[in-house]
Structure 1
Amino acid sequence: MPNALQVPTDDLTRILRMPTWVTSARPETPEDVAFLSGAALNHLHVVLGRAEVPQALLRDRLALRAAEACVAFSGRPERAGDLRDAVHLLRPGDLPGPGGETYLAWRRAVERPVSIKALGRALPTLEQGQIATWLDAGQGVPVGRAAMVLEAVFRAAPRAEVAALILAEAALSQALGWDHLVPLLAPGLKRADLRKQGDDLRLACHRAIIPSVIEAARHAADLARRAAHLKAVAPKLRAKGAVDAVEMFLTRDAVTPSALPLPDRAARRLCDRLVDLGAVRELSGRDTFRLYGV
């Protein structure tokens, strides 16, 4: 999609905001639900075309939401903060645990343009031929295609929630003409929805799309504003490696100081400086093993 001209942050927030007739609607019929999900997706399509929206950062943050939903589906207690810790505080040679594996799968799924190879990287236990077969099960309009893929995977592997949802999201994103997977279904579906079939599953997917897209658009507007502020204060940073560090913050949900391309002490000072400037936030609430993000 072509890049849009830069506009003032307040104006951009209004542009990215979902119309109130979508956010306040209470659809009663399947036709109403399908219409609103289509309207929401159309608005998000426009949002994702804005140059001001930090696309990689948005996808990484939505991946965390999707992973949290999948962990809840499996009955595990981890929440977003636990999943961040499981991945970002992982030591070399350690295993991230089931929750961390789920989060890593979603992060890998959104990192690269959608392809069989990229999905195989996110889901290494699946053969690429099997991934292609399941994706081919989806036909028709975007949400219907995603529901068909979801049903096909669950028919063959009833307990493969993560794989089923990632492939359904991939089918949805491809059908919408998006280069990258944007997680929308997983955060909006309920556990009982995953066992539905046919028209019932398709309707559940439409229902899931509406609140998820509204939330994704809110994230996009918030991150666009925060990213603009980070870029504005970046020239004040004089540490060697600060430019690369800023780029990491603009593309990742969370960053540890040790991951930055600076010596440990300089990295911690840079993070503290960015917090003081209101450009990033400390996400963990801890005094040690801190995580920072836009």
Structure 2
Amino acid sequence: MLGECGEGRKICRRAHILRRTENESEALMRKIVLFSGSSAVGKTAVLSWVVDCLRERGLSSAVCKIDCVSDEDKETFRALGVPAVAGISADICPDHYLVSNIPEIWSWADGRGSDVLFVETAGLCNRCSPATRSMVAGCVVDATASCKAPGHLGPMLSQADFVVLTKVDMISQAEREIVCRAVADVNPGAEVFAVDALAGYGVQALSRYIETAPAVGTYEGDVLRHAMPAGVCSYCVGECRVGSAFQQGVVGKMEFEEDAR
């Protein structure tokens, strides 16, 4: 009996491999979607609604959260029945950390047969973006922030395919249009979605956009959309003493102009 069961499992396994080999389009249905943005703008809340909407549409998701200190957000997705893993970058820039782990993250999601891999990252300095050309890159923006905020987000916004405006229930229609104008000044080609992450308003349109976004079969040969900033000074490797005598590597110094009087 045991031998028969073992043989049955082998037959099923061979059939699964054969179907996967014959149907190459199955692998091409995979896509990786990046959710970036400043802290506390609502990335996790929006993403929680999105994975639920996609599940209703028959698509399975996996979520990887990159953070600097806490990994508690992964429990939010696990409570929804979504495979989730967290990476803590600690002393390393979270964007550098993410890019260094893309192959492993992809393999993890691929091993779970996910249709969509979501990566939520903690963008800090606004100077760079971990988005690659094969990703569907999104930037989440707090609509209640200053109308000047989009201009300070750098490649995280300028290189995005779509932009999500959160907390739109807290501003007027006129204020929303001002924020949208500010976003368009930085990235005129991005799709913009207004979302109330507490009630789920606007998430359906965002989910449909992600569902129809281009799929990729592999991360191999992928490249960053924007170069990362240099991170090889003495403070990057643990130096704590302040002063020019302790500064080595790539060091940037200010130039002070004389006061105009």
* Fold shared per TM-score above 0.5: no
Which protein is richer in helix relative to its size? 1
